[in-house]
Structure 1
Amino acid sequence: MLEETLKWRATFKPEEIRWHEVAHEGVTGKISRANFHDRYGRTVLIMRPGMQTTKCTEDNVRYMVYLLENGILNLADGQEQMSWLIDFTGWSLSTNIPIKTSRDCINVLQNHYPQRLAIAFLYNPPRIFEAFWKAVRYFMDPITSQKVKFVYPKKKESLELMQSYFDIENLPSEFGGKASLEYDHEEFSRSMVEDDVRTAKFWGSVEKSRHVADDHLAQVAPPPAPPPLAITAS
C-alpha cells in the first residue's frame, strides 16, 4: 500500500497542485475548509454536493485532493485526521456527483489517504439519496464505510452525536448548530493562496533537507576500498 501511494504521489504530484489551477471548481463552495475545528482539534472539511456544477472527473478529483492536502497542512500539532461535514441542502439527482467521479474520489481517499478521515457526517440526506449511496458504497472498503454517519435533525441520537463532536456555537445551522455558513469565494481564495506559499516552503524545505542529508551521507561515507592487487605467477 505504501509503495502504491508513493508511486501515485510521484505521478499525480498532489503537493504541486496550486489554487489557481483548481479555483474554478470551488466557486460555489462545494468543498471548503471550515474556520473552526471539532472538539478534538481536527481540521473540518465542509462538503455541499448540492452545489456541484461541474462534471469533469479529473478536475473534481484534483480539487478534492488539493483540499485534502490543504487540510493536512492545517492540522494541529499531534493531529493526523480530519472530520467531514456533508450538507445535502439543494441536493438532487440532477445535481449529484457522477458515479465515476464518486468512485475515483473514494479510491483516492481510501488508497492514498486511508488514515486521514476520522469521521464523515452525512447531514439530513434526502430519502432518494439512499439509492445513490448504495451504488457509491459498493466501492468503499468496510473501514471507510464505518466512518460515515447518517444524521438527521429530528433524531435525538443524531443531535447527541453531533454535540459530542462539535461545539454547537461554532457549528453552522445547516448542521444543527447556531453559527452561519457563508462561503465567500474571494476570501477563501486569498486564504488558499497564502497556504500555497506555506506549502511551497514546506516541500522546498523537505527537498532541501533531503539534499543536505544526501550530501552529508556522501561526506561521511568511507571512500571505496581500492581494488585488490592482482597477483600473477612469475
Structure 2
Amino acid sequence: MSYLFKTRSEATQLKPASPEEQQQKIEDVRQLLGDLPTEMPSFLSDGTIRRFLWTKSWSTEQAAKALKEAVKWRRQFKPEKICWEDLPGIENEARRAYIPDYLDKNGHTVFVVMTSLKSFTSTKERIKQLVYNLENMAMDSEDAQEENVIWMCNFRGWTLSSTPLWETRESLHIIQNYYPGLIRTAILSNPPKIFESFWKMVKHIIEPTLQEKLKFVYSDNSESQRIMADMFDMDKLESAFGGRNTASLDIIKYAERMRRRDQLRGASKKNINDNISSPNQE
C-alpha cells in the first residue's frame, strides 16, 4: 500500500474572480433562483452561493442548478431544524465525530472523525448527525473566501464493518452535492492494510476535486509528521493524529457548546418552541 504514503497535491485552484465579479455572479445566481432566496434566505446566503460557484468553476447556470437540487433535498430533510437533543445516543456518537475547540494554524475549522470507535445508533441516525455537523461547519464558513474545513479521519483499528459502504456512499453524496466547497483538506490518518480494498471501491465515487484534497498520513512517517506540524499546534492536536493532546473529549462542555451553536443557528428547542408559540413573529 505504498501509494498511500504519497500526500496528494493541493487541490487545483479555480481561477479567482475579483470581489466585484464574485458579487455580480452571486447576484446573477440569485436571479436564476427566482423566489427560492425568499423561501430559504438563511441557506441561500452570499456565502452558500459563493461556495456552489467555486465548485462549478463560477458557472452561474451550473451553480443555480445545483442549488435548486439542494433546496429540494433541504425541504425534505430539514437540516436547519436538527439540534443536539435530536441526536440519539449523541454522548457516545459525538466522540466518534466532533468539531474540536481549536482551529488549524491558518484559522480553518477542524472536524475530527474516529472511525474505529463503535457506534450504537443506526446508519440513518449517523447520517443525521453528519448533516448536523455539516450545518455547523457551513455556519462557520459563511464569511470564508475559500474552502474552510480540515476534515480529519483516524483509521487506526478500522475494519470493514466500521464504515458500511452504503453509509459511505450516502455521506459522500450529501457532502459533494449539498455542502460543496466546505472541505479544504481531508486527512486520512493511519489506514490499515485492509483499507486498500475499501478505498478501491469508494475512490470512483469521490469527485476529482475532492480526491485532490486528500492526504494520507502515518504516525511513523517523517513526512507525515512534518505535514501535521505545519498545519496544527501539536499541543492541541489529538494524539491519534500525532499531536500531544491526550485528553478525551469533555462531552459535558461539548454539549454546552453545541447547544449554544444551535441557538445561533436558530435550531435549538427553545427557539423552535418560541416560534411555535408566536406564529406571527418575523
Q: Which band: TM-score by shorter chain?
A: 0.7 to 0.9
Which of 143, 146, 155 lines up with 1:88 in the alignment? 155
Aligned to 1:133: 199
Q: Distance in 2 between matches of 1:130 and 1:44?
A: 25
TM-score by length of 1: 0.79
Which ranges of structure 2 fall in alignment gaps of 5 or more residues?
Answer: 1-65, 273-280
| Equivalent residue number for residue 229 of structure 1 | none
> What corresponds to 1:8 in structure 2?
73
Deviates further, 195-204 or 45-54 = 195-204
Unaligned 5+ runs, structure 1 = 205-210, 213-234
Q: Deviations over 1:141-190 (max 9, x none)?
A: 11112212110122222112112211222211111111224123333222
User: What does residue 44 of structure 2 align with?
Assistant: none
1:168 to 223, 226, 234: 234
Structure with more contact order per residue of length (Cα contacts < 8 Å, sep ≥ 6): 2
Amino acid at match of 1:183: L
Residue 69 of structure 1 corresponds to which residue in structure 2? Answer: 135
* Equivalent residue in structure 2 for 1:19, among 74, 84, 103: 84
Report % sequence identity: 33
1: CA distance between counterparts of 2:259 and 2:142? 20
Give the number of equivalent residue pairs: 205
* C-alpha contact 1:55 1:97 (8 A) present in aligned 2: no
Matches within 5 A, 1:22-101: 22-28=87-93, 29-54=95-120, 56-75=122-141, 78=144, 81-94=148-161, 96-101=162-167
* Alignment partner, residue 179 of structure 2: 113
**Quick one: structure 1 residues 4 and 26, their matched pair in 2 at CA, closer, same or farther if it must change by over 3 Å?**
farther
User: How far is 1:43 from its partner?
Assistant: 0.9
Q: Distance in 1 between matches of 2:177 and 2:166?
A: 16
SS in structure 1 of the partner of residue 99 of structure 2: strand
Give the Å deviation of 1:7: 1.7
Paired amino acid for 1:81 = N
**Two-structure CA RMSD over aligned residues (Å):** 2.4
